[in-house]
């Protein structure tokens, strides 16, 4: 009965449009009352869920990303991407994807990527004769790359949800090859669609101009090296690197580019505070919900149930992927990481899956969920930027969904894609 109350109240609140954080908190509170536990336990778990030092990295990475969006770094990275791949078929589509790789290594946020890159690229693509649905679809699905390329604050949430015993440096490193593989898959899909529709290529600017553009974008690229190199080498932690990212972003945008006005600085600060408040409230409420799942021994029951269905790891991982893809259509990424990690990680480990490998699978899978209706936050952002309806985007987005799904299957069943690179640093 306890589970009926927990999940029933949660689903009901979600269906009537209640914000996810309140769905998690209210359903947890109702279940605790039914169990006869002190109601204070919900707030204690909420507090303990956000009182984790590693979570300090999240607000600062969000802040650094906002500063870079408003401080001209995104535009320079897009220009560099254009010089490198603009001459390929469907040039601006290829530029959009490569820009997501570069900016993702700076922001670590799919929504920030879709907003920043989409705001720059979608109008340009429309002006050059590209269909708006093509521009939006590439922007939306390409933004998932930001979740895989470090610094990804979702990797930090996963590490904490897994008990805090997983190395964030290993998770950051493990996402690099899958992220680049996803970019390559999307570029192939973009090429095929562009060829079918007859989209143009862009002129190659020449090696001299490429060098000029590269030097102009270098400060933004250096930040990626500082964050990844520092965390991977152990010079500083992920939380410390997020603070360094903010200081570096301020120095570059104020002293080097001189593009960050006082008004933009204030807007970036307020925006980062609001986003952080929403993210941490969701994480805290999800922590209460997750504690109840553990208290009611849901993970143990699911492990036992799946073992009765099959003892083949291939089948088990496929079932987990399908379950996560379905859940991703109804909930945002952060709460799903907190809720599903304690449920599915023990199942995966019982079948011999490395927890770092599973983290990459989880992040990529739930990233696809950000691009699917009815609760696809990144899909909404992309459609708002392109000024088209969800239905218009959904009619032609399937080749890009297909590319992302193929990448997910490759990452799921070829562990070396995730584990080879971290092993080189040990």
**To 10 degrees, the CA torsion angle through 163, 164, 169, 170?**
-20
Structure tokens at 423: 């092993």
Q: What are the distances in angstroms from CA 54 to CA 44, 281, 320? A: 19, 16, 27
**Which pLDDT belongs to residue 108?**
63
Domain borders along the chain are 2-424
Helix (H) or strand (E) holding 331: none
Plot region of 90 (φ>0 → left; ψ -120 to 50 → alpha; else → beta): left
CB-CB contact of 80 with 102 (8 Å): yes
Separation CA 388–CA 408 (nearest Å): 28
Within 8 A by CB and 6+ apart from 177, the residues are: 417, 418, 420, 421
The band of 361, judged by pLDDT with boundaries at 50, 70 and 90, is very high
Q: Provide the b/e sequence for 82-103 (b: ≥16 CB within 10 Å).
A: bbbbbebbbbbbbbbbbbbbbb
CB-CB contact of 256 with 31 (8 Å): no
Report pLDDT digits (tens) over 9-53: 888 887 887 787 888 888 888 888 888 888 888 888 888 877 777
Separation CA 396–CA 137 (nearest Å): 8
Give the pLDDT mean for 288-294.
82
Give the pLDDT mean for 282-299.
81
CB-CB contact of 78 with 120 (8 Å): yes
Give the pLDDT mean for 61-71.
78
Separation CA 307–CA 296 (nearest Å): 19
Choose from 73-82, 208-217, 228-237 the range with maximum mean pLDDT: 208-217
Give the pLDDT mean for 78-92.
76
From the number of C-beta atoms within 10 Å of its C-beta (0-12, 13-18, 19+), residue 127 rates as exposed
Q: Is the pLDDT of residue 101 over 80?
A: yes
* Range in 187-196, 228-237, 258-267, 309-318 with the lowest mean pLDDT: 228-237
Query: pTM to 2 decimals?
Result: 0.85
Place of tokens 């970036």: 268
What average pLDDT does the chain have? 83
The band of 265, judged by pLDDT with boundaries at 50, 70 and 90, is confident
**Which pLDDT belongs to residue 415?**
94
Report pLDDT digits (tens) over 190-200: 989 988 888 87
**Which pLDDT belongs to residue 358?**
95
Plot region of 231 (φ>0 → left; ψ -120 to 50 → alpha; else → beta): alpha
**Which pLDDT belongs to residue 360?**
95
Residue of 235, 265, 217, 230 lying closest to 101 (CA atoms): 217
Greater model confidence, 183 or 299: 183
Q: What is the DSSP letter of 387?
A: T
């Amino acid at each position: 009965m306890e589970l009926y109350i927990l999940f029933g109240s949660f689903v009901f609140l979600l269906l009537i449009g209640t914000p996810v954080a309140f769905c998690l908190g209210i359903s947890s509170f109702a279940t605790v009352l039914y169990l006869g536990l002190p109601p204070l336990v919900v707030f204690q778990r909420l507090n303990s869920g956000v009182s984790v030092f590693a979570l300090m990295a999240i607000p600062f990475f969000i802040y650094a990303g906002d500063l870079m969006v408003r401080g001209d770094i995104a535009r320079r990275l897009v220009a560099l991407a254009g010089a490198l791949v603009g001459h390929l078929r469907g040039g601006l589509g290829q530029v959009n994807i490569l820009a997501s790789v570069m900016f993702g290594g700076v922001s670590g946020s799919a929504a920030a990527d879709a907003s920043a890159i989409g705001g720059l690229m979608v109008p340009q693509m429309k002006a050059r004769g590209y269909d708006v649905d093509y521009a939006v679809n590439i922007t939306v699905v390409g933004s998932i790359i930001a979740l895989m390329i470090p610094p990804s604050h979702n990797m930090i949430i996963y590490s904490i949800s897994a008990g805090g015993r997983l190395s964030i440096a290993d998770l950051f490193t493990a996402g690099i090859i899958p992220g680049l593989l996803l970019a390559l898959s999307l570029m192939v899909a973009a090429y095929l669609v562009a060829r079918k529709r007859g989209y143009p290529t862009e002129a190659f600017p020449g090696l001299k101009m490429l060098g000029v553009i590269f030097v102009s974008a270098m400060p933004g690229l250096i930040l990626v090296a500082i964050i990844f190199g520092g965390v991977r080498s152990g010079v500083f932690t992920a939380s410390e690197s997020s603070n360094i990212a903010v200081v570096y972003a301020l120095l570059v945008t104020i002293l080097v580019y001189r593009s960050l006005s006082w008004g933009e600085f204030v807007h970036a600060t307020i925006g980062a505070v609001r986003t952080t408040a929403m993210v941490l409230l969701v994480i805290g409420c999800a922590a209460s919900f997750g504690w109840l799942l553990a208290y009611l021994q849901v993970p143990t029951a699911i492990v036992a149930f799946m073992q009765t269905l099959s003892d083949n790891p291939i089948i088990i991982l496929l079932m987990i992927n399908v379950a996560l893809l379905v859940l991703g259509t109804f909930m945002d990424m952060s709460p799903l990481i907190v809720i599903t990690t304690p449920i599915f990680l023990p199942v995966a480990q019982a079948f011999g899956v490395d927890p770092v490998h599973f983290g990459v699978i989880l992040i990529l899978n739930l990233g696809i969920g950000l691009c699917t209706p009815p609760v696809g936050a990144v899909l909404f952002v992309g459609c708002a930027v392109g000024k088209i309806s969800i239905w218009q985007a959904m009619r032609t987005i399937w080749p890009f969904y297909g590319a992302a799904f193929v990448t997910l299957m490759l990452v799921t069943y070829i562990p070396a894609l995730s584990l080879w690179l971290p092993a080189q640093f040990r």
